[in-house]
Structure 1
Amino acid sequence: MKWIYLLSLLITAPLFGQKIIWKEGQKLNWSQFKSETNRKGSNVVAYTHCGWEYTVVKSTNPNVPVKIEIVTIFNEDKSWKDPKRINDYVLNHEQKHFDIAEIYARKLRKEVMEKIKTSGDFDRKFQSIYNKISNEYRNFQILYDKDTQHGINTEKQAEYNLIIARELDYLKNFKSS
């Protein structure tokens, strides 16, 4: 149904148009897939452009506490669908891509909360933490599409639906506030 590309972490949020922030219980709908451009070829039914963004408030003094906010986003203007081939099953597969982005945002929040307390910690540690989580995220998205055959393999899709739900629950203490 599509390949996912990691939306780079951005310091300034309004660069890419209309965004939806991931919220528990809020589901995507087809009207939110607003791009008319199919960049993936004729065999792709939909493309979900999602990832996370962060903002940082820090001091030049390395001992001052740092504030980092990480949000999971879905970019409406870069997400698209083939209106002739969409259905609720495909939408569920795309929703899971968004949910996976939230899982890895929670993992990033967890590591940041555990390892970064000050502006100096941010300067020394954030980029390596980000790179590690970002690579894990990208690899999991690719594996998800490969294993589910972009949602075509219903048995594998059902397995991933459970895995994703369990991970969201396991990391519930790291939801965005």
Structure 2
Amino acid sequence: MKWIFVACFLVSNVLLGQKIFWEEGNKLNWNNFKSKINRKGGDNVVAYTNCGWIYSYEKSSNPKAPIKIEVQTVFNEDKSWKDTKRINDYVLLHEQKHFDAAEIFARKLRKEISEKIKTSSDFDKYFKGIYSKILRQYQDFQRAYDGETKNGMVEEKQSEYNRIIAEELENYKSYKTS
């Protein structure tokens, strides 16, 4: 018997809100930021990107059976906000990099899964630990990104992160979805 399970980083956002799946070459635009609520608060916040991953898997009750796991990066339009009086292309680039960073860590998650999880038994043993580890790394990266760039306002740091994010997307390109 196969079990199909769908979980997500932000279940209600994905199931109830509109979402955009990360695709190479497709960029966010200000129309994608549909929330009327500033979820971050603070006067220095010009926009907020709500993104993460969803994953699904097909698993057999046979512990030796192969397992199929899919991980996708999503942007949640209904939870992403902008201050229409202060937005510009530079801020949009900063927000795009949050989405791109989510894709980097989705690729890292796909890599770990492909290396360590081959069967239903492997999934039971390793998935939660792998997921938790990558999630912590992702959250730490996002915090550092906003902190060091001061939400994109420190141009030198923003340029540095733009380079880092582009390099990491390239480094993990073999783990992108087709």
TM-score, shorter chain, exceeding 0.5: yes
1:14 deviates by 4.9
Name the CA distance, whole Å, in 2 between partners of 1:9 and 1:59.
26
SS at 2:60's partner residue?
A: coil
1:134 alignment partner in structure 2: 135
SS at 1:58's partner residue?
A: strand
2:92 alignment partner in structure 1: 91
1:36 alignment partner in structure 2: 36
Q: Contact conserved, 2:102 with 2:138, CA < 8 A, in 1?
A: yes
- TM-score computed with the length of structure 1 as normaliser: 0.92
1:132 deviates by 0.4
Q: Please, which runs of 5 or more residues in structure 2 have no aligned partner?
A: 1-7
| Amino acid in structure 2 at the alignment position of 1:76 | E
Q: Contact conserved, 2:14 with 2:76, CA < 8 A, in 1?
A: no
**Residue 15 in 1 paired to residue 54 in 2?**
no
Task: Give the strand-richer structure, 1 or 2.
Answer: 2
Q: Please, which runs of 5 or more residues in structure 1 have no aligned partner?
A: 1-6
Q: Contact conserved, 2:35 with 2:78, CA < 8 A, in 1?
A: yes
| Amino acid in structure 2 at the alignment position of 1:35 | S
Structure 1, residues 56-83: CA drift from partner, whole Å, max 9, x if none?
1001111110000000000000001000
Name the CA distance, whole Å, in 2 between partners of 1:14 and 1:59.
26
SS at 1:147's partner residue?
A: helix
Structure 1, residues 110-139: CA drift from partner, whole Å, max 9, x if none?
000000000110000000000000000000
Name the CA distance, whole Å, in 2 between partners of 1:106 and 1:164.
12
1:88 deviates by 0.2
Structure 1 segment 157-172 matched on structure 2, within 5 A: 157-172=158-173
| Amino acid in structure 1 at the alignment position of 2:104 | I
Count of residues paired in the alignment:
170
Q: Contact conserved, 1:13 with 1:53, CA < 8 A, in 2?
A: no
- TM-score computed with the length of structure 2 as normaliser: 0.92
Name the CA distance, whole Å, in 2 between partners of 1:166 and 1:80.
28
Cα–Cα, structure 1 residues 47 and 69, in superposed 2: closer, same or farther, change >3 Å?
same
Cα–Cα, structure 1 residues 107 and 131, in superposed 2: closer, same or farther, change >3 Å?
same
Alpha-carbon RMSD = 1.5
Name the CA distance, whole Å, in 2 between partners of 1:80 and 1:150.
14
2:56 alignment partner in structure 1: 55
Q: Contact conserved, 1:55 with 1:68, CA < 8 A, in 2?
A: yes
Name the CA distance, whole Å, in 2 between partners of 1:160 and 1:21.
22
Name the % identity. Answer: 64
